[in-house]
Structure 1
Amino acid sequence: MIKRRLKELDLLRFLAAIAVVFFHYAFRGYAKGDMSTMPYPLLAEPAKYGYLGVELFFMISGFVILMTASSNNLRVFFISRVVRICPAFWVCCTLTYLITLAIGQPRYTADVYQYIANMTLLSDWMGVPPIDGVYWSLFAEIKFYLMISIVLGFKKIEKIETYLVIWLLVSALAEIFIWEKMRSILVTDYAAYFIAGATFYMIWAKGITKARMLLLAGALALACYTAIVWALLLESKYATEYNLLIVCSLIVLFFITFLLVATNKTAAIGALDWTALGALTYPLYLIHQMIGFMIFNIAYPAVNPHLLLWGTIALMIAASHVIHKKIETPIARFMKKLLSMSFKRVEVNKP
């Protein structure tokens, strides 16, 4: 049976991105006093939970990446990831760099070396600070891609459930016993979300089994544990208090939502076309933070904070749409064609 396109995932992407936008604009930017001069107390309390949008992104990624990898073809997987990640990142990184040079001083600075290192997507490994702090999650994604690439390289994607169980167990031990090296390599503080998303994909593609439900239960337990640890760290970082019940309830909500998606209970929502919203979320995520803060710092308090907040959000959504349609899509199309031709040429020239 041919599976329908899960358009509801596009809606979830957008909701995750907007949650992060509100976290930064209405809470994080002002909370620590080092990024934005504009407070927005009206939404600060609910907005402070918006960071969990990243966790939702990771669950979506686990689902979609395993779907992409299910062909068991490393070349197809590599091309799909490069085409998906690089064009929008290069455009948004360049835009953020240029705007930082233009209006960022004295609070924000960037130099040519930092920009070039960021453009390689290797700045995390090079010890070079990101031009925009949101890039940290992209580096976590890339580590996940590398793990899947290794599995594909050995043509072992059919064993993925076993590897997910091992990853979950190692992650739980690394988090409990603070094995820093292992935590860094295996992204153990966010592994539960990737694992859950991948497991939900298997349920969607192949059905519910006892082993998959047990894997989800373990992933949920680890997700709640790491979320509580992180929330407690954020409390001291931002001088606020998090309701741990709300944090865990939101994570449970993510799991329930994905279970409904995986068991085809959200078809009515998926029948609506959310693809345009889904398409703009990646550039929106990449450009909103630093550029938004720079706008706030220039315009506040001269401009009304309500107009400034909502106007900047509207501007970022509009800019993201233009970036996707006019720049990212043509570059991605060209890159896909170029990479496909290059791989075919290599295949032909093989002895």
Structure 2
Amino acid sequence: MTVREVTETPRRPDRTAPRETRLRALDGLRLVAALMVAAYHYGGRGGDVTAAWGSSPKDQFPTLHQYFSYGCLGVQVFFVISGFVICMSGWGRPLKSFFASRASRLLPAYWAAVLLVTAVFALPVVAYKALSPSDVLVNLTMLQYPLGVDRVLGVCWTLWAEVRFYALFALCVVLPGASRRRVILFCAGWTLAAAIAHAAHQPLLDVVLMPEYAPFFIGGVGLYLVHRDRRDVYAWGIVGVSFLIGQHYAVRGLWNAGDPNAFAHRSSAGIVLVVALGFLAVAAIALGWLNWANWRWLTVAGALTYPFYLVHEHLGWVVIHALHIGLGLPSAETFALTVVSMLLLAWLLNRYVEKPLTPKLRSALAKAR
């Protein structure tokens, strides 16, 4: 969910090679997934956001809060997209180049977001608690979640899942060299290993193999194989099995019909539907059905997605409080202006942090011995 790439056409001009074009629809889908998560954080859950609104989002959005609660599934959509794009960007690339690409893409905006949120939360007028300097320094490593350190960015747990996926893909596919056969074996092996990890109830296996998230990454990888050859039966099998397992984990984790104190009661059918739509959207892009969506502004949307995702939650709560409590704006206007302000901040981070620093960091890492 965190990359901005163009399709890489294989050097051999065979009939299964994808056409050389930028998948701008994928950029647009990434922003849609980010907006889903933002809707969840602003109006689809309780907790800290209640202090921002001055009351529960249920009171602010009596009907919409139920729909906003499904927005957390934007994360699963991100993971499917990530599987697709990481397979695409790692194909034919040496390990050193792959590492340089991933690190330079993730770290500049991430470091800036950690420092920015820390600085804002340290302001006396902000009601939220700032972390200690020691915890902030650990957050800069992106390893705060497994180390049990308080998080500056609430969404960083998803980055920890992404990093583990990158490591598995790099060791199993990029290092020996990507090929259709190797990618298929990687998907099949990870699917089986994740199922064994779930049955074994071993924390170490759970951390490494991520049974609850693996199907979404693997499904995205399978969809990239479909993009290369839509008649690849093995690729379609990977996608189908991944969806079947993924929807199970999504329902298992989010269906809360038996909890009388739940903020919103998601239906199992609604959860399955959202997961299915995520898979179908990436599949439509993989098959070229959305190649007509080739507008330049979608590239901009894709560029804003990652910095928006990083800053929208905690800084969005600060903006909500300022607009709704401080200025007395209605809920709908506050929601819309908060999203717009976070997109503007994401543009600033992209323009003044990512664009100048990403190529420099990539070049430095690629040249380092």
Q: TM-score, normalised by structure 2?
A: 0.86
* Aligned-partner Cα distance in 2 for 1:234–1:110: 35
Give the deviation of 1:255 after TM superposition.
Answer: 1.7
CA distance in 2 between counterparts of 1:196 and 1:241 reads 27
SS of equivalent to 1:157: coil
Counterpart amino acid of residue 236 in structure 2:
M
Query: CA distance change for structure 1 residues 153 and 242 in 2, over 3 Å: closer, same or farther?
Result: closer
Structure 1 runs not aligned, ≥5 long: 347-351
Q: Assess if the C-alpha contact under 8 Å between 1:60 and 1:197 holds in 2.
A: yes
Distance 1:153 1:248, change over 3 A: closer
Structure 1 residue 246: Cα displacement = 1.1
Map of 1:1-351 to 2, 5 A cutoff?
1=13, 2-29=19-46, 33=50, 37-38=54-55, 39=57, 40-42=60-62, 43-103=64-124, 106-152=127-173, 154-158=175-179, 159-175=182-198, 178-232=201-255, 236=259, 238-270=262-294, 273-302=297-326, 303-304=328-329, 305-342=331-368, 346=369
Amino acid in the other structure paired with 1:41: F
* Percent identity of paired positions between Structure 1 and Structure 2: 24
- Aligned to 2:20, the other structure's residue is in SS state coil
Q: Is the 8 A contact 1:195 1:219 kept in 2?
A: yes
Distance 1:111 1:149 in 2: 34
For 2:263 and 2:143, locate their aligned partners in 1 and report how far apart those are by CA, in whole Å.
32
8 Å contact 1:91–1:328 — kept in the other structure? no
Q: 1:186 to 1:18 in 2, by over 3 A?
A: same
Of 235-244 and 315-324, more deviation after overlay is shown by 235-244
Give the drift of 1:52.
0.7
Structure-1 separation of matches of 2:363 and 2:253: 42
> Is the deviation greater in 311-320 or in 250-259?
250-259
CA distance in 2, matches of 1:190, 1:255: 14
Contact 2:187 2:218 in 1 (8 A): yes
Instruction: Assess, with a 3 A threshold, how the Cα gap between structure 1 residues 235 and 80 changes in structure 2: closer, same or farther.
Output: farther
Distance 1:88 1:235, change over 3 A: farther
8 Å Cα contact 2:30-2:81 kept in structure 1: yes
SS at match of 2:70: coil
Residues 288 and 31 of structure 1: is their aligned pair in 2 closer, same or farther, counting only changes over 3 Å?
closer
Q: Report Cα offsets for 1:243-291 as digits up to 9, x if no partner.
A: 1101101111122222221111111123554100110010000001011
Q: Distance in 2 between matches of 1:225 and 1:104?
A: 44
Match in the other structure for 1:349: none
Go from structure 1 to structure 2 and tell me whether the alpha carbon gap of 1:228 and 1:35 turns closer, same or farther (over 3 Å shift).
farther
> Which residue identity does 1:9 align to in structure 2?
L
TM superposition shift of 1:190? 0.8
More helix by share: 1
Matched AA of 1:223: G
Distance in 1, matches of 2:254 and 2:321, equals: 27
Distance verdict in 2 for CA 1:233–1:78, change over 3 Å: farther
Superposed displacement of residue 34, structure 1: 6.8
Q: CA deviation at 1:171?
A: 1.9
Distance 1:36-1:138 versus aligned 2 partners, 3 A rule: farther
Question: Does the 8 Å CA contact 1:61/1:194 hold for their aligned counterparts?
Answer: yes
For residue 231 of structure 1, what is the amino acid of its counterpart? L
Q: 2-side partners of 1:138 and 1:299: how far apart?
A: 30
Root mean square deviation, CA, Å = 2.3
- C-alpha contact 2:145 2:156 (8 A) present in aligned 1: no
Matches of 2:265 and 2:123 in 1, distance apart?
36
Distance 1:179 1:208, change over 3 A: farther
- Report the alpha carbon displacement of residue 231 of structure 1 after superposing the two structures with TM: 1.0
- Unaligned 5+ segments in structure 2 are 1-12, 14-18
Give the counterpart letter for 1:23 in structure 2. Y
- The answer (yes or no) to whether the contact 1:103–1:294 under 8 Å persists in 2 is no
Q: How far off is 1:41 after superposition?
A: 1.4
TM-score in terms of structure 1 length: 0.90
Give me the whole-angstrom Cα distance separating, in 2, the residues matched to 1:335 and 1:150.
22
Give the whole-Å Cα distance in 2 for the aligned partners of 1:176 and 1:4: 42
Quickly say closer, same or farther: Cα 1:104–1:226, change in 2 above 3 A: farther
2:5 corresponds in structure 1 to: none
Aligned-partner Cα distance in 2 for 1:235–1:7: 41
What are the Cα deviations for residues 23-45 of structure 1, in whole angstroms up to 9, with x where unaligned?
A: 10112255885775352315211
Query: Following TM superposition, by how much is the alpha carbon of 1:185 offset from its aligned partner in structure 2, in angstroms?
Result: 1.4
